Amino acid sequence: MGEWEIVPATRGDAGELLTLQRACWLQEAVANESVSGIPALHESYDDVVSGIAEWTTFVVRVGGRLVGAVRGRMEGAAWDIGRVMVAPDLQGRGLGRVLLEHIQAVAPAEATSYVLFTGARSTVNLRMYKKAGFRLRTDLPAPPLAVVLTKPRPRPR
């Protein structure tokens, strides 16, 4: 795979985003032995449409197919990163890392840190986030079966 073109999501992406979300989070449900504890598996099409409006959301297409996505929004002084998704058949090729780097790069200037959560047993995700400089924060509340990771935002030079 060559360069990934990351573009802002539109309302027209919602159906494919919902499909990608279900494919990605079904894997998380298996890894974490729970379907009920994963909000992404319970969202409707309308929830995804609302998410596009409420979050800064980006998608990646390859050959017209939506294969990756990520979103972020401000929560206090932190840039909350969510829904880092890569189509299951393309995982392990670096697209997740590229999406994670992109969403950090577009954070508003006032963001002083990044925050995200993932499944407590999602070893591949945890490895990627830790390699990207995120650290596990057991002192912060996490959703059921999940862990919170944070990373300070580098100060501009």
Per-residue pLDDT of the chain (157 residues; tens, 9 = 90+): 457 899 999 999 999 999 999 888 777 767 766 656 667 767 899 999 999 999 999 999 999 999 999 999 999 999 999 999 999 999 999 999 999 999 999 999 999 999 999 888 888 889 999 999 999 999 999 887 889 999 999 876 6
pTM confidence score: 0.90
CATH superfamily name and code, 6-152: Gcn5-related N-acetyltransferase (GNAT) (3.40.630.30)
Domain ranges of the chain: 6-152
d(CA 58, CA 52): 9
8 A C-beta contact, residue 66 and residue 60:
yes
CB 66 within 8 A of CB 15: no
> What is the pLDDT, as a whole number, of residue 24?
84
